[in-house]
Amino acid sequence: MARTKIVAGNWKMYTLPAEAQALAGAVASFTGGSLSPEVVVCPPFTSLVAAIAAVKSSAVKVGGQNMYWEDEGAFTGEVSGKMLLTLGCSHVILGHSERRQYFFETDFSVNSKLKKALSLGMTPIVCVGETLDQREANQTEQVVRTQIEGCYDGLTAEQAERTVVAYEPVWAIGTGKTASPAQAEEVHSFIRGLLRKKFGNTAEGIRILYGGSVKPDNARELFSQLNIDGGLVGGASLKAESFNKIIEAAR
């Protein structure tokens, strides 16, 4: 099944609104109306408005980096999926390893957020991946299985098809250590197998992105693997020049 590739930029806690406008604008000029790959930028909440305005006349989509599963309420400091959607976000990153590590995000909370995002018609990008200790203890498959099972618990195949998985080995995030294309493909193929067990043939249509030190010089080889359907890019998404080259590599 042909899967349209996705190149998504996770800007993490970087960019003030003016910087976001310039960066998103440069990505939008490069992308134009092209729908392949699908291009998504995920600025911090305070820069969403600026980025959304900057990509308006292009095919670039904008996503949040997290959300809460209630629409509104007494939840100080939280931002709901409905708020993101209303602002103009089509995508949302869920369960990023930094949220798991520093903000106690669990598979259970990701599952609640995932169901909410789907009910709003948003596209969730669900992050999974093992730490270095877990990889060295040969626990990669076990860790990823637990995460996929927890995050996707109770979803129908129709819902699962509208999600995107991002496999981000924690040891490759921001370290300059990329998983080799073969190492990444091995886990991507394992993840597709897990999804196939849960959702049958629908799994063939689910995009699985790789994240962890994706750069212009390694993107093409990563993206040419059978089960790698694009990338979730951190550091290299903060400069239009490198992010646009990664988009080019996915074409």
Tell me the sheet residues that pair with 230.
6
Q: Cα angle vertex 63, ends 66, 108, to 5°?
A: 30
Question: Nearer to ligand 13P by C-beta: 10 or 199?
Answer: 10
Q: C-beta of 176: minimal distance to ligand 13P in Å?
A: 8
| Separation CA 185–CA 223 (nearest Å) | 10
Q: C-beta of 155: minimal distance to ligand 13P in Å?
A: 22
Residue type, 159: Q
Which residue is closest to ligand 13P by CB?
234
Selecting among 91, 96, 130, 188, the annotated active-site residue is 96
Contact 95, 168 (CB under 8 A): no
Q: C-beta of 102: minimal distance to ligand 13P in Å?
A: 13
Give the DSSP H or E segment for 91.
strand 91-94
Question: Nearer to ligand 13P by C-beta: 44 or 234?
Answer: 234
Q: C-beta of 158: minimal distance to ligand 13P in Å?
A: 27
Question: Nearer to ligand 13P by C-beta: 232 or 240?
Answer: 232
* Radius of gyration for the chain, computed over Cα atoms and rounded to the nearest angstrom: 17
Please enumerate in sequence order all residues whose Cβ is within 8 A of that of 243, keeping only pairs 6 or more positions apart, or say none: 7, 9, 27, 233, 236, 237
DSSP 200: G
Question: Nearer to ligand 13P by C-beta: 81 or 211?
Answer: 211
| Separation CA 58–CA 144 (nearest Å) | 35
Q: C-beta of 114: minimal distance to ligand 13P in Å?
A: 17
Residue of 194, 195, 182 whose CA lies nearest to 226: 182
Question: Nearer to ligand 13P by C-beta: 199 or 249?
Answer: 249
Is 168 an annotated catalytic residue? yes
Q: C-beta of 67: minimal distance to ligand 13P in Å?
A: 16
| Separation CA 76–CA 29 (nearest Å) | 37
Is 96 an annotated catalytic residue? yes
Query: Which backbone phi and psi does 94 adopt, to 5 degrees?
Result: -130, 140
Question: Nearer to ligand 13P by C-beta: 43 or 199?
Answer: 43
| Separation CA 155–CA 141 (nearest Å) | 21
Contact 230, 37 (CB under 8 A): yes
Selecting among 38, 105, 130, 168, the annotated active-site residue is 168
Site residues, ligand 13P (CB under 6 A): 10, 96, 168, 173-174, 211-214, 232-236
Write out the catalytic residue numbers. 96, 168
